[in-house]
Amino acid sequence: MRSKHLYFFYTFVLVSIAISPFLGSVELSLSKIFDVSSPEHRIFFDLRIPRLLLCFAAGASLALLGAIYQMLFHNPLAEPYVLGVSTASTLGVFLFEHYLSQYLGTYFQGIAGLISAVLYSLLLITLSKKNLRNPERIILFGMGSNFFLSSVLFLLVSYFQSAIGSGSVRWLFGQVPWLDMQMALIIFGSSAVICTLLLLQSKKIDILSLGDGVAKSMGVDPQTSRRNILILSSFLLGMTSSAIGTVGFVGLVAPHAVRLWLKPNQTRPLFFYSLILGGAFLAFSDAISRSALPPVEFPVGVVTTFLGGPIFLYLLWKR
Protein backbone atom coordinates (compact mmCIF):
# COMPACT_ATOMS: atom_id res chain seq x y z
CA MET A 1 0.00 0.00 0.00
CA ARG A 2 2.76 2.31 0.88
CA SER A 3 4.65 1.67 -2.35
CA LYS A 4 1.66 2.76 -4.38
CA HIS A 5 1.63 6.07 -2.54
CA LEU A 6 5.37 6.40 -3.00
CA TYR A 7 4.91 5.94 -6.75
CA PHE A 8 2.38 8.77 -6.93
CA PHE A 9 4.58 10.87 -4.71
CA TYR A 10 7.62 10.63 -6.92
CA THR A 11 5.51 11.15 -10.02
CA PHE A 12 4.05 14.31 -8.52
CA VAL A 13 7.49 15.57 -7.54
CA LEU A 14 9.12 14.86 -10.89
CA VAL A 15 6.27 16.30 -12.90
CA SER A 16 6.21 19.48 -10.80
CA ILE A 17 9.92 19.97 -11.22
CA ALA A 18 9.89 19.19 -14.92
CA ILE A 19 6.97 21.47 -15.74
CA SER A 20 8.04 24.48 -13.71
CA PRO A 21 10.68 25.97 -15.97
CA PHE A 22 8.28 25.83 -18.88
CA LEU A 23 5.72 28.02 -17.18
CA GLY A 24 5.88 31.76 -16.86
CA SER A 25 4.90 34.99 -18.49
CA VAL A 26 6.46 33.76 -21.73
CA GLU A 27 5.30 30.46 -23.17
CA LEU A 28 8.18 28.14 -23.92
CA SER A 29 8.04 25.08 -26.07
CA LEU A 30 10.32 22.08 -25.90
CA SER A 31 11.68 22.50 -29.40
CA LYS A 32 12.51 26.19 -29.23
CA ILE A 33 14.58 26.00 -26.06
CA PHE A 34 17.26 23.88 -27.66
CA ASP A 35 17.75 26.40 -30.45
CA VAL A 36 20.82 28.11 -29.07
CA SER A 37 20.21 31.36 -30.92
CA SER A 38 16.58 31.80 -29.86
CA PRO A 39 15.49 34.02 -26.97
CA GLU A 40 13.63 31.00 -25.57
CA HIS A 41 16.92 29.24 -25.04
CA ARG A 42 18.28 32.11 -23.00
CA ILE A 43 15.10 32.46 -21.00
CA PHE A 44 15.07 28.76 -20.21
CA PHE A 45 18.69 28.20 -19.32
CA ASP A 46 19.76 31.58 -17.95
CA LEU A 47 16.63 32.56 -16.09
CA ARG A 48 14.23 29.70 -15.49
CA ILE A 49 16.64 26.93 -14.58
CA PRO A 50 18.52 29.01 -12.00
CA ARG A 51 15.18 30.06 -10.60
CA LEU A 52 14.14 26.43 -10.38
CA LEU A 53 17.31 25.55 -8.53
CA LEU A 54 16.77 28.40 -6.10
CA CYS A 55 13.13 27.53 -5.45
CA PHE A 56 13.81 23.86 -4.99
CA ALA A 57 16.67 24.55 -2.58
CA ALA A 58 14.57 27.02 -0.60
CA GLY A 59 11.48 24.84 -0.46
CA ALA A 60 13.49 21.79 0.51
CA SER A 61 15.30 23.72 3.26
CA LEU A 62 12.07 25.12 4.70
CA ALA A 63 10.36 21.76 4.69
CA LEU A 64 13.30 19.97 6.31
CA LEU A 65 13.65 22.64 8.99
CA GLY A 66 9.92 22.47 9.65
CA ALA A 67 10.07 18.71 10.10
CA ILE A 68 13.07 19.01 12.42
CA TYR A 69 11.62 21.80 14.55
CA GLN A 70 8.34 19.94 14.94
CA MET A 71 10.27 17.13 16.55
CA LEU A 72 12.75 19.23 18.51
CA PHE A 73 10.08 21.39 20.06
CA HIS A 74 7.51 18.58 20.49
CA ASN A 75 5.06 20.77 18.66
CA PRO A 76 3.20 19.92 15.46
CA LEU A 77 2.68 23.62 14.78
CA ALA A 78 6.36 24.50 14.84
CA GLU A 79 7.82 25.82 11.63
CA PRO A 80 11.16 27.31 10.55
CA TYR A 81 10.30 30.89 11.44
CA VAL A 82 9.30 30.10 14.97
CA LEU A 83 12.61 31.08 16.51
CA GLY A 84 12.80 34.50 14.95
CA VAL A 85 15.89 33.71 12.85
CA SER A 86 14.23 34.66 9.60
CA THR A 87 12.93 37.98 10.92
CA ALA A 88 16.40 38.84 12.17
CA SER A 89 17.78 37.94 8.76
CA THR A 90 15.23 40.08 6.89
CA LEU A 91 15.90 42.98 9.23
CA GLY A 92 19.60 42.58 8.50
CA VAL A 93 19.01 42.63 4.75
CA PHE A 94 16.79 45.69 5.07
CA LEU A 95 19.28 47.62 7.16
CA PHE A 96 22.02 46.67 4.75
CA GLU A 97 19.95 47.86 1.78
CA HIS A 98 19.43 51.24 3.30
CA TYR A 99 22.64 52.01 5.05
CA LEU A 100 25.43 50.00 3.54
CA SER A 101 24.54 49.08 -0.01
CA GLN A 102 25.71 52.44 -1.29
CA TYR A 103 29.20 51.45 -0.19
CA LEU A 104 29.24 47.74 -0.74
CA GLY A 105 26.75 47.10 -3.49
CA THR A 106 23.81 44.79 -3.44
CA TYR A 107 25.86 41.66 -4.08
CA PHE A 108 26.58 41.33 -0.39
CA GLN A 109 22.94 41.56 0.59
CA GLY A 110 22.79 37.83 1.03
CA ILE A 111 25.83 37.91 3.29
CA ALA A 112 24.16 40.57 5.41
CA GLY A 113 21.15 38.36 5.86
CA LEU A 114 23.31 35.39 6.69
CA ILE A 115 25.37 37.30 9.23
CA SER A 116 22.23 38.65 10.91
CA ALA A 117 20.80 35.16 11.11
CA VAL A 118 23.96 33.74 12.63
CA LEU A 119 24.36 36.62 15.12
CA TYR A 120 20.79 36.18 16.23
CA SER A 121 21.29 32.43 16.63
CA LEU A 122 24.39 32.98 18.71
CA LEU A 123 22.31 35.19 20.97
CA LEU A 124 19.71 32.44 21.17
CA ILE A 125 22.34 29.85 21.97
CA THR A 126 23.96 31.98 24.68
CA LEU A 127 20.61 32.59 26.29
CA SER A 128 19.65 28.95 26.07
CA LYS A 129 22.55 28.05 28.31
CA LYS A 130 21.09 30.05 31.15
CA ASN A 131 17.47 31.12 30.94
CA LEU A 132 16.17 29.11 28.06
CA ARG A 133 17.23 25.63 29.02
CA ASN A 134 14.15 23.90 27.72
CA PRO A 135 12.52 23.85 24.26
CA GLU A 136 9.27 25.42 25.40
CA ARG A 137 11.04 28.53 26.64
CA ILE A 138 13.09 28.74 23.48
CA ILE A 139 9.94 28.91 21.39
CA LEU A 140 8.41 31.55 23.65
CA PHE A 141 11.53 33.63 23.30
CA GLY A 142 11.38 33.16 19.52
CA MET A 143 7.78 34.32 19.43
CA GLY A 144 8.54 37.34 21.54
CA SER A 145 11.52 38.41 19.51
CA ASN A 146 9.60 37.75 16.29
CA PHE A 147 6.97 40.26 17.43
CA PHE A 148 9.62 42.73 18.44
CA LEU A 149 11.86 42.42 15.39
CA SER A 150 8.97 42.51 12.96
CA SER A 151 7.66 45.68 14.54
CA VAL A 152 11.12 47.20 14.15
CA LEU A 153 11.09 46.08 10.53
CA PHE A 154 7.70 47.63 9.89
CA LEU A 155 8.75 50.84 11.58
CA LEU A 156 11.76 51.05 9.32
CA VAL A 157 9.74 50.16 6.24
CA SER A 158 7.22 52.89 6.91
CA TYR A 159 10.02 55.35 7.66
CA PHE A 160 11.74 54.63 4.38
CA GLN A 161 8.51 55.10 2.45
CA SER A 162 10.11 54.28 -0.87
CA ALA A 163 10.61 50.64 0.11
CA ILE A 164 7.15 50.09 1.44
CA GLY A 165 6.24 48.02 -1.57
CA SER A 166 9.15 45.65 -1.84
CA GLY A 167 10.26 45.49 1.80
CA SER A 168 7.03 44.43 3.37
CA VAL A 169 5.88 42.15 0.57
CA ARG A 170 9.16 40.28 0.66
CA TRP A 171 8.84 39.80 4.34
CA LEU A 172 5.16 38.91 4.42
CA PHE A 173 4.84 36.72 1.38
CA GLY A 174 8.28 36.13 -0.04
CA GLN A 175 9.67 37.21 -3.35
CA VAL A 176 11.83 35.09 -5.60
CA PRO A 177 14.56 37.05 -7.39
CA TRP A 178 16.01 36.29 -10.80
CA LEU A 179 19.50 35.07 -10.08
CA ASP A 180 22.32 34.15 -12.38
CA MET A 181 23.30 30.50 -12.66
CA GLN A 182 26.42 30.91 -10.56
CA MET A 183 24.55 32.38 -7.60
CA ALA A 184 21.79 29.81 -7.93
CA LEU A 185 24.30 26.98 -7.90
CA ILE A 186 26.04 28.42 -4.85
CA ILE A 187 22.77 28.55 -2.96
CA PHE A 188 21.70 25.13 -4.19
CA GLY A 189 25.04 23.58 -3.32
CA SER A 190 25.28 25.13 0.15
CA SER A 191 21.72 24.16 0.94
CA ALA A 192 22.41 20.63 -0.19
CA VAL A 193 25.45 20.39 2.07
CA ILE A 194 23.67 21.72 5.15
CA CYS A 195 20.57 19.63 4.52
CA THR A 196 22.75 16.55 4.25
CA LEU A 197 24.46 17.40 7.54
CA LEU A 198 21.05 17.81 9.15
CA LEU A 199 19.79 14.52 7.71
CA LEU A 200 22.78 12.82 9.28
CA GLN A 201 21.53 14.04 12.65
CA SER A 202 18.23 12.17 12.32
CA LYS A 203 19.00 9.74 15.09
CA LYS A 204 20.06 12.51 17.48
CA ILE A 205 16.87 14.38 16.67
CA ASP A 206 14.86 11.22 17.38
CA ILE A 207 16.49 11.01 20.78
CA LEU A 208 16.01 14.71 21.52
CA SER A 209 12.35 14.43 20.58
CA LEU A 210 11.85 12.11 23.55
CA GLY A 211 12.56 14.92 26.01
CA ASP A 212 15.68 16.37 27.59
CA GLY A 213 15.81 13.99 30.55
CA VAL A 214 15.46 10.90 28.39
CA ALA A 215 17.97 12.26 25.86
CA LYS A 216 20.52 12.80 28.57
CA SER A 217 20.00 9.30 29.90
CA MET A 218 20.52 7.99 26.38
CA GLY A 219 23.89 9.69 26.13
CA VAL A 220 22.91 12.77 24.12
CA ASP A 221 23.51 16.13 25.79
CA PRO A 222 20.42 18.20 24.94
CA GLN A 223 22.03 21.64 25.15
CA THR A 224 25.00 20.79 22.93
CA SER A 225 23.02 18.90 20.32
CA ARG A 226 20.34 21.54 20.09
CA ARG A 227 22.99 24.19 19.76
CA ASN A 228 24.67 22.38 16.88
CA ILE A 229 21.39 21.88 15.08
CA LEU A 230 20.47 25.53 15.61
CA ILE A 231 23.76 26.67 14.14
CA LEU A 232 23.23 24.60 11.01
CA SER A 233 19.60 25.71 10.77
CA SER A 234 20.46 29.36 11.10
CA PHE A 235 22.89 29.18 8.20
CA LEU A 236 20.29 27.44 6.09
CA LEU A 237 17.43 29.68 7.08
CA GLY A 238 19.54 32.83 6.89
CA MET A 239 20.54 31.97 3.36
CA THR A 240 17.00 31.07 2.34
CA SER A 241 15.44 34.18 3.88
CA SER A 242 18.03 36.47 2.35
CA ALA A 243 17.27 35.01 -1.03
CA ILE A 244 13.49 34.81 -1.05
CA GLY A 245 12.19 36.47 2.08
CA THR A 246 9.59 34.74 4.24
CA VAL A 247 7.48 32.09 2.59
CA GLY A 248 4.93 30.59 4.90
CA PHE A 249 3.14 27.28 4.77
CA VAL A 250 5.86 25.11 3.25
CA GLY A 251 7.80 24.49 6.45
CA LEU A 252 4.70 23.89 8.51
CA VAL A 253 2.71 21.75 6.16
CA ALA A 254 5.14 19.68 4.07
CA PRO A 255 6.04 17.36 6.98
CA HIS A 256 2.38 16.88 7.85
CA ALA A 257 1.49 16.19 4.23
CA VAL A 258 4.23 13.55 4.10
CA ARG A 259 3.00 12.00 7.34
CA LEU A 260 -0.57 11.82 6.10
CA TRP A 261 0.26 10.74 2.57
CA LEU A 262 3.22 8.37 2.93
CA LYS A 263 3.03 7.43 6.61
CA PRO A 264 6.77 6.95 7.10
CA ASN A 265 7.49 4.94 10.22
CA GLN A 266 11.00 6.22 10.66
CA THR A 267 12.36 9.70 10.95
CA ARG A 268 15.00 9.84 8.24
CA PRO A 269 12.46 9.00 5.50
CA LEU A 270 10.10 11.60 6.98
CA PHE A 271 12.84 14.21 6.71
CA PHE A 272 13.88 13.16 3.22
CA TYR A 273 10.39 13.06 1.74
CA SER A 274 9.53 16.40 3.39
CA LEU A 275 12.61 17.91 1.81
CA ILE A 276 11.70 16.64 -1.64
CA LEU A 277 8.06 17.60 -1.35
CA GLY A 278 8.91 21.07 -0.09
CA GLY A 279 11.34 21.65 -2.94
CA ALA A 280 8.95 20.46 -5.64
CA PHE A 281 6.06 22.34 -4.13
CA LEU A 282 7.85 25.66 -3.93
CA ALA A 283 9.23 25.28 -7.45
CA PHE A 284 5.77 24.56 -8.75
CA SER A 285 4.15 27.39 -6.77
CA ASP A 286 6.70 29.78 -8.12
CA ALA A 287 5.91 28.65 -11.66
CA ILE A 288 2.22 29.22 -11.03
CA SER A 289 2.91 32.62 -9.48
CA ARG A 290 4.50 33.71 -12.72
CA SER A 291 2.06 32.15 -15.14
CA ALA A 292 -1.39 32.40 -13.58
CA LEU A 293 -2.09 35.94 -14.72
CA PRO A 294 0.80 37.24 -16.77
CA PRO A 295 2.50 39.66 -16.54
CA VAL A 296 1.45 39.87 -12.90
CA GLU A 297 3.77 37.93 -10.64
CA PHE A 298 2.12 36.96 -7.38
CA PRO A 299 4.35 36.71 -4.33
CA VAL A 300 5.21 33.08 -4.02
CA GLY A 301 3.93 32.81 -0.43
CA VAL A 302 0.46 33.74 -1.59
CA VAL A 303 0.50 30.90 -4.09
CA THR A 304 1.87 28.32 -1.63
CA THR A 305 -0.91 29.10 0.79
CA PHE A 306 -3.57 29.28 -1.90
CA LEU A 307 -2.59 25.96 -3.47
CA GLY A 308 -1.45 24.20 -0.37
CA GLY A 309 -4.32 24.99 1.96
CA PRO A 310 -7.01 23.04 0.12
CA ILE A 311 -4.61 20.18 -0.67
CA PHE A 312 -3.77 19.86 2.97
CA LEU A 313 -7.39 19.98 4.03
CA TYR A 314 -8.15 17.29 1.47
CA LEU A 315 -5.43 15.03 2.85
CA LEU A 316 -6.74 15.58 6.35
CA TRP A 317 -10.28 14.79 5.30
CA LYS A 318 -9.31 11.59 3.50
CA ARG A 319 -7.76 10.15 6.65
Partner 1 sequence: METLDKNLITAEKLQLAHNGVPVNQMPWDFSIPLGQLTAVVGLNGSGKTTLIQALLGEPVIHRGGVYLGELKTSSHRLDAREISKWISYVPQEHFYPGHLTVFSFLQIASTELSEVEAVLKKMGINELRDKNLNALSSGQRQRAFLARAILQKSRILVLDEPTNHLDPEGKNSFWKTLAQFRKDSNQDIVVSTHDLEYIKKYASYMLALGQGQVQFCGKQSDFFAQACAQKVFGLID
Binding site for partner 1 (CB under 8 A): 71, 74, 203, 206-207, 209-211, 213-222, 259, 263-267, 270
Give min distance, CB of 59 to partner 1, in A: 21
Give min distance, CB of 210 to partner 1, in A: 6
The residue among 96 and 312 lying less far from partner 1, judged by its C-beta, is: 312
Give min distance, CB of 228 to partner 1, in A: 14
Give min distance, CB of 312 to partner 1, in A: 17
CB-CB contact of 59 with 281 (8 Å): yes
Give min distance, CB of 205 to partner 1, in A: 9
CB-CB contact of 229 with 72 (8 Å): yes
The residue among 96 and 271 lying less far from partner 1, judged by its C-beta, is: 271
Give min distance, CB of 1 to partner 1, in A: 13
Give min distance, CB of 207 to partner 1, in A: 6
The residue among 105 and 213 lying less far from partner 1, judged by its C-beta, is: 213
The residue among 235 and 273 lying less far from partner 1, judged by its C-beta, is: 273
The residue among 166 and 209 lying less far from partner 1, judged by its C-beta, is: 209
CB-CB contact of 2 with 263 (8 Å): yes
Phi-psi region of 116 (alpha: psi -120 to 50; beta: other; left: phi over 0): alpha
The residue among 38 and 75 lying less far from partner 1, judged by its C-beta, is: 75
Give min distance, CB of 45 to partner 1, in A: 40
The residue among 42 and 203 lying less far from partner 1, judged by its C-beta, is: 203
**Can you tell me the distance from the alpha carbon of 81 to that of 87, in angstroms, rounded to the nearest whole number?**
8
The residue among 125 and 258 lying less far from partner 1, judged by its C-beta, is: 258
